[in-house]
Amino acid sequence: MPEDKRQVFLASRRAATFGSIAAGALLFAACADPRAEPRTAPSTATPAPVAATATAATTAATPVQGPAAEATPTVTAPPASGLLEPARTGNLDAIRAGIAARADVDQRDAEGRTPLYLAAQQGHVDVARALLAAGANVNIADRNADTPYYVAALARHAELTGILLDAGADRVGTRAYGGTPLIAIAERGWVDVAREILRRPNIPVNHVNNLGWTALIEAIVLGRGGPDHQEMVRMLLAAGADPNLPDGQRRSPLTLARERGYGEIAKLLEAAGGR
């Protein structure tokens, strides 16, 4: 019997005898081309259901909808600069996101300025309120000893000046030369800012700076004697400014007003008991 027919015969006998799948495979192999590459027997593992796999993948990729999604708000991380740049530019959304992410509300830049300081300097009322509500320290000064209260007043942000005072800003608020916000704005005749300051309690209207001047004297010496400075003098006197507290050279406010020809201011001082 030829060899190829003999192999087919033997395989058939084995399949008939054992009824095995493996013997059937031998029969198939015996009939195949002997020059062909051997084949690996197919795996008997049960494949995962395609529909179930696709469903699972779709479920994992689909965002949660409805109340469950609303219960977990997304919190945006604060920028690399922390709260300093958002405070300077007035970006309230970034400030709120930074606060929610527990950014340092009293962070300082190279000049010692805090986010509250920068917001006060630029007049960003809502940002300042948000920082104060988050616990920002209202009295941290920069390298020049200027506080948020001081820079807000000097930038003529009247409303913000009052907010900072209500938040506990130091009433004196001195800077390097011993001045106060009230002294500085008295010189400029900014009655709108002065009104916000003087309507708060415990304002030191008779504070003397390193030049020996009070707010009343500064309104006279560095003022122009016009309506704004006249109103400033009137407001200071009404708030308890001493009309006879002299400067460092022992000159009274009345003397200083007369020397400059400020007749209306001199009348106000005389009516208040100035000598």
pLDDT digits (tens, 9 = 90+) for 193-209: 999 999 999 999 999 99
Tell me phi and psi for residue 100, to 5 degrees.
-65, -30
| Pair (252, 183) in one structural domain | yes
Confidence grade of residue 173 (pLDDT, cut at 50, 70, 90): confident
Does residue 215 have a pLDDT over 50? yes
Confidence grade of residue 81 (pLDDT, cut at 50, 70, 90): low
Residue 117's closest CA among 140, 145, 93, 89? 140
User: Residue 12: exposed, middle, or buried by beta-carbon count in 10 A (0-12, 13-18, 19+)?
Assistant: middle
In a domain, 134, yes or no: yes
Does residue 191 have a pLDDT over 90? yes
Give CA separation, 211 vs 221, 230, 248, 249, 256, in Å: 12, 22, 7, 10, 15
CA dihedral 113, 118, 121, 126 (to 10 degrees): -140
112 with 142: CB under 8 angstroms? yes
Q: pLDDT, tens digit, for every residue of 223-272? A: 999 999 999 999 999 999 999 999 999 999 999 999 999 999 999 999 99
Tokens of 51: 């529909």
| Pair (237, 271) in one structural domain | yes
Tokens of 95: 């400030």
Task: Write out the residue range of the structural domain in which residue 205 sits.
Answer: 178-275
Does residue 128 have a pLDDT over 90? yes
In 3-state terms, what secondary structure has residue 213?
coil
Does residue 57 have a pLDDT over 50? no
Of 170, 205, 232, which residue sits at a domain end?
170
Of 170, 194, 228, which residue sits at a domain end?
170
| Pair (182, 157) in one structural domain | no
